[in-house]
A and B are shown apart, each in its own frame.
Chain A
């Protein structure tokens, strides 16, 4: 299979338009989430360290990509930022307002402006509602349509944007295919015209041709309305296409973050390197992809020091297994940060 490059190679690189100077819409400071779970024969309480000490921002009109190991805390981070899950520590500032201090009643107004596309489409859609009601619900709650007819027209329009026919309005979630349901989740989130959207694996169930349609739509909304995105995905090609900047998570922490082309090219953290190497290419053989050695770490009992040290080929005994490496810029002003004592050069 020959993959035609979707864009001519002489186009200017990403940073040219990266909204470098746009104001920060979302600021996350020292965010942590520990889930209490009971384990063992005596049902002792232990804590899952799902998110630890995460600091980041998303500018207006910007896409921040979020990639990382399965179970590293990406979905939890997305939910905590929107306060769908209460943080254990830290703050989230949305458009100048500290969300973590708002009462539920005051949070309501902010809810329309911040939406999420959940990772599991079926379980996030109310099984008793028809697609039309699911997508129209937000329009009704936030009084965004001036009556039933307008609401239905708005629902039909957004369904059309995600490539679903008007007839889908009368279907129930379980009557749809996986990819159709995923697009209902996207339509629901977009219907209320949010300013900030957390997309948690929004195209994982979509075939490339439909996926392309959704990615084009999100890009257009970004250009036209200045939509900000936190874009969580396992598909590194999609993230590279969409994200101005990318953050890499490993066991609850951000281990590398920077402008996407920089990060993809330099891969400063050994985990980032392993992750990018594992992307299959034609003709490479299945075994060749199996790049990461050792057991994945326990989130209940994270390794001391750098959480990656038990699997890291460059780990330095006495240091990497003792001290947590801070997320720091190697080149001043590059905005490319890495948390590693021996970053790849």
Chain B
């Protein structure tokens, strides 16, 4: 059953651009995003709040809000098929079938009027020819796998009767219902306690190793990414600013945003709350990301970048740094050399 990871991309996103019509004008959420998810590999998508991670996931699955979203350009190829031009009927078979999705906000993505067991069973029946009772049995099995407490007893519960983390696990069960080739998981452990989150990460890792499932893992949790992912793609203000092997990006980031992001590490375990106000202050990245309706020229991180120079006013291209590493910063190489002892 073991599918060895290969370098042939299962999912390929090329030059993707997405914009939204808003009251204040056109908001360019994604501008030329490109990355690959090789078969059997786990790729992490990271970036500040509002950088375009969820919009990327929504564009891949074509679930952007029809009312105001537009795909301006780009291509999404999944197993050789261009998803953006696929007829909606065929796309529906891909969604929840060969591509599973875990949404960032469980409560609003589950149907409030149906019991959760029914919703999981329906997800199974939509893509598989099985009886009602078989689908129900599969729902129980899936819930048990994701660590849901006493699944048989709670199958008839409605989403609002469950805790945040229980709902999140229901959604993961739905996403895994049809053994997807690719799982797109948007913050899948944000509502889970550490023990359940660990169990879930182990499950995803196992699915990847044993079934060759590929993973696009959107997360703020760098430790989880370090455990689970092979590659990291860093987004800033709608553009990819750095990509590379996970260990490399996490240990030796090249782009100034990634560096700043890694420097504002979460508070460490122990020694407890600090008395001194200044000592208690957590490091932040000064300033805020640009308004995506009036994107500045040049590097988008320029206004906040400690290394910015006059040349940064020219939009920097992605620079190939070798060994699969790329960074959207002309100074990446030099800055790297400077930081080295």
Contact = CB atoms under 8 A, between A and B. Distances in A.
A120 B108 contact: yes
Interface in A286-321: 286-287, 289-292, 295-301
B297 interface: no
B284 A282 contact: no
A209 B264 contact: yes
Contacts of B105: 120-123, 178
Given A3-B268, A70-B192, A209 B48 contact: yes
A301 B153 contact: yes
B24 A296 contact: no
A282 B226 contact: yes
A23 interface: no
Interface stretch (A14-22, A95-103, A147-155, A329-337): A14-22
B161 A209 contact: no
Interface in B268-299: 268-277, 279-285, 288, 291, 293
B54 interface: yes
B216 to A, nearest CB: 16
Given A11-B279, A215-B282, A286 B228 contact: yes
Contact of A70 (B144, B157, B191, B261): B191
Contacts of A175: 20, 22, 68
Interface residues of B, number: 88
B168 to A, nearest CB: 8
Interface stretch (A86-94, A107-115, A190-198, A234-242): A234-242
Contacts of A325: none
B227 A286 contact: yes
A266 B267 CA distance: 19
A205 interface: yes
Contacts of A165: 288, 291
A15 B169 CA distance: 38
Interface in A142-168: 163, 165, 167
Q: Which of B50, B222, B288 has the most chain A CB atoms closer than 10 A to its own CB? A: B50
A218 to B, nearest CB: 11
Contacts of A283: 226
Nearest to A43: B156
Contacts of B227: 280, 284-286, 289
Contacts of B20: 175
Given A122-B107, A170-B23, A205 B275 contact: no
Interface in B151-190: 153-154, 156-157, 161-166, 169, 186-187, 190
B165 A71 contact: yes
Given A122-B105, A205-B49, A238 B161 contact: no
A240 B280 CA distance: 11
Contacts of A213: 284
Interface string B27-42: 0000000000000000
Contact of A7 (B50, B187, B279): B279
Contact of B267 (A6, A37, A72, A300): A6
B129 interface: no
Given A240-B272, A280-B227, A284-B227, A275 B193 contact: yes
B193 to A, nearest CB: 5
B224 interface: yes
Contacts of A9: 271
Interface in A22-50: 35, 37-39, 48
Nearest to B189: A234
A291 B147 CA distance: 13
Contacts of B65: 174
B2 interface: no
A69 interface: yes
Interface stretch (A53-61, A133-141, A257-265): A257-265
Nearest to A263: B272
Contacts of A174: 65
A223 B48 contact: no
Given A205-B49, A243-B273, A298 B149 contact: yes
A80 B186 CA distance: 30
The 7 residue pairs across chains A and B that have the minimum distance between CB atoms: A70-B165, A179-B49, A261-B272, A289-B198, A212-B282, A241-B267, A3-B265
Interface of B: 20, 22-24, 46-50, 53-55, 65, 68, 104-108, 144, 147-150, 153-154, 156-157, 161-166, 169, 186-187, 190-199, 201-202, 205, 220-224, 226-228, 250-251, 260-277, 279-285, 288, 291, 293
Interface of A: 1, 3-9, 11-18, 35, 37-39, 48, 63, 67-72, 74-76, 119-123, 163, 165, 167, 170-171, 174-180, 183, 201, 204-213, 215-216, 219-220, 223, 234-238, 240-244, 259-261, 264-265, 274-276, 278-287, 289-292, 295-301
Given A70-B193, A286-B205, A287-B202, 18 more contacts: A1-B222, A6-B268, A7-B274, A12-B274, A170-B22, A177-B54, A178-B186, A178-B187, A213-B284, A220-B277, A241-B280, A274-B195, A282-B250, A284-B227, A286-B201, A289-B201, A297-B150, A300-B150
7 contacts: A9-B271, A13-B274, A205-B187, A215-B282, A242-B273, A264-B270, A297-B150
